[in-house]
């Protein structure tokens, strides 16, 4: 994976027209090669759709997984950084001035219908530039925005979200756990945080709404989705994210992603 520096990330943004508003919008294909964009923001709302592959985004409030057949909403002006691996997807940018009222103020993942997915890819006919002023473009982007808002509002809960803590000690433990989720443990987290177990559990629950065990389990499954999207074998992924039992891994993965790891991997490997 290529890690872009802050200046390289800004160069990519400028090259793709992301340093200006869309009026009403534009789109481009995401690179299929693995890339890690540094922290950045832009004046447009962003919706990235994954037809295949997996993306992870880190924002001010946590980490977000973008699995196949879902889209990720990033409001204009929100600082974030993005890790893209083997993604067959499109990023669509909407000028906030022309976007429908009621847009969410926070990053979120939401499922999309086949029709909306096709519409998101159709926006590729309008790259950044003068053509985006056309009346058809204005109508299309407005309609697409309304449909995406409808699907965001219809989703249940905080899909594929791994919350971040603001307490510095808990945040430090989180960062250490994410560096190696397969081997992360409560004892290591307590050591990183420099807190008693009782205090750590209380702060963790208060800030994330999750127990430590639920949080680290989800972090491992986020990592597993990325590895499966790369084509790694299910048995290797299960062991690689800390599961001794393949059946336990399959059950947990299916509960989070809505499909078995075998099926998920098969979807990623299918030809376009």
pLDDT (mean) for 211-225: 95
How much is the pLDDT for 100?
A: 84
* DSSP output for 152-174: HHHS-S-TTEEE---SHHHHHHH
- The domains found in the chain, sorted by start residue, are 2-154 (2.60.120.280), 164-269 (1.10.10.60)
Average pLDDT, the chain: 90
- The answer to whether 234 and 246 are in contact (CB under 8 A) is yes
How much is the pLDDT for 11?
A: 92
For residues 76 and 41, give the distance between their C-alpha atoms in angstroms, rounded to a whole number.
7
How much is the pLDDT for 130?
A: 57
Judge whether residue 131 has pLDDT over 60: no
Give me the percent of the chain exceeding a pLDDT of 90.
67
How much is the pLDDT for 133?
A: 64
**Range of lowest pLDDT (28-32, 58-62, 159-163, 188-192):** 28-32
What three-state secondary structure class fits 62?
strand
Task: Name the DSSP class of 127.
Answer: -
Tens of pLDDT, residue by residue over 181-212, are 999 999 999 999 999 999 999 999 999 999 99
Kindly report the number of other CB atoms within 10 A of residue 134's CB atom: 13
What three-state secondary structure class fits 2?
strand
How much is the pLDDT for 30?
A: 79
How much is the pLDDT for 135?
A: 86
Tens of pLDDT, residue by residue over 70-90, are 999 999 999 999 988 777 899
What three-state secondary structure class fits 100?
coil
How much is the pLDDT for 271?
A: 65
pLDDT (mean) for 144-167: 89
């Amino acid at each position: 994976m290529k890690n872009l520096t802050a200046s390289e990330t800004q160069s990519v943004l400028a090259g793709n027209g992301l340093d200006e508003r869309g009026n009403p919008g534009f789109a481009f294909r995401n690179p299929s090669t693995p890339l890690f964009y540094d922290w950045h923001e832009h004046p447009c709302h962003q919706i990235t759709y994954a037809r295949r592959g997996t993306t992870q985004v880190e924002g001010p409030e946590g980490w977000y997984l973008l699995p196949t057949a879902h889209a990720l909403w990033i409001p204009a002006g929100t600082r974030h950084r993005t890790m893209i691996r083997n993604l067959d997807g499109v990023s669509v940018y909407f000028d906030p001035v022309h976007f429908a009222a009621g847009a969410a103020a926070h990053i979120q993942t939401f499922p999309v219908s086949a029709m909306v997915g096709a519409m998101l890819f159709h926006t590729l006919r309008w790259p950044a530039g003068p053509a985006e002023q056309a009346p058809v473009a204005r109508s299309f982007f407005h309609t697409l925005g309304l449909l995406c808002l409808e699907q965001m509002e219809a989703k249940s809960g905080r899909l594929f979200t791994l919350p971040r803590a603001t307490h510095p000690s808990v945040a430090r433990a989180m960062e250490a756990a994410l560096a190696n989720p397969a081997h992360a443990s409560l004892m290591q987290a307590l050591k990183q945080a420099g807190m008693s177990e009782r205090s750590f559990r209380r702060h963790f629950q208060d800030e994330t709404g999750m127990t430590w065990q639920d949080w680290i389990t989800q972090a491992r499954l986020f990592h597993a989705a990325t590895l499966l999207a790369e084509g790694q074998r299910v048995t290797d992924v299960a062991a690689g994210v800390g599961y001794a039992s393949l059946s336990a891994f399959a059950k947990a993965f299916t509960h989070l992603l809505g499909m078995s790891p075998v099926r998920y991997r098969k979807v990623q490997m299918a030809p376009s």
